[in-house]
Amino acid sequence: MNTGLSGRVVLVTGGAGGLGAAAASAFHDEGARVVLVDRDRERVTQVARDIGANCRPCELDLCVEADVEQTLGALQDELGHVAVLVHCAGIARGPDQMGPNGWLSMQDVSISDWQTVLTTNLTATFLINRTVARSMIAAGWGRIINVASMSALVANRGLSGLGPYAASKGGVISLSRVLAAEWAQHGITVNCISPGYMATSMGTRSQSIPGFRELQIDMNPQRRLGEPNEFANAAVYLASDGAAHVNGHNLVIDGGYTVW
């Protein structure tokens, strides 16, 4: 299938590893000019180098409004408008939520952790979507793919204290639907991908809890974790010409975990 992505500028956030790096590699293979964004300069530079010549790194804190607008403005002055945004950046929980015997419970979650997760996962989604959409509106074309989570749809069995993450990802889905309706008139589609448990560093972190990997597998009809390339292939489809009429959709990639 001709995706129509060759030569287009694709911005991928959270690109220092995991789903972001997988998506960047897939878009690079389609001939896109990829900008890989992350707060970790060293890691994102190495990942971009590994992907190829048409992938460039960009150090950026997506939670700082002025930095988002200034950095993306400079990028678009140089490269032209960002045609595709794949917003993967996010965190599962704040730094204080791991206790000596596993995750803290919701009654012990601090307001600091709550605010950190909501700012990183939801407010940053608003900032990057709004900033990129301005140039998409001017160009009359754009594809936005925000990454939510199956945790926005179900309570994760065996994990406590996940309220901030679940609330933030539920907000991402709702925000994306609003943006999809509002920006459709400008030739922009906005969709979500909600991964389940994936074979990434974030996904494996929770497996340090005794017995939790077995629970992840037992609750999944396919009896396995998702692979990053399976997420990446879905992102490429949603950005392609073939998905022009897919708008405001939340695509769940979880092996059937949420069917129960």
Which are the catalytic amino acids?
Answer: 165
Q: Are 58 and 10 in contact (CB under 8 A)?
A: no
In angstroms, how far is CA 177 from the centroid of its own chain? 15
Q: Is 43 helix (H, G, I), strand (E, B) or coil?
A: helix
Residue with tokens 């988002």: 68
Q: Say if residue 141 is exposed, middle or buried (CB neighbours under 10 Å; 0-12, 13-18, 19+).
A: middle
Q: What is the largest CA-CA distance in the chain?
A: 52
Those residues with Cβ within 8 angstroms of residue 124's Cβ, 6 or more apart along the chain or in another chain:
62, 63, 89
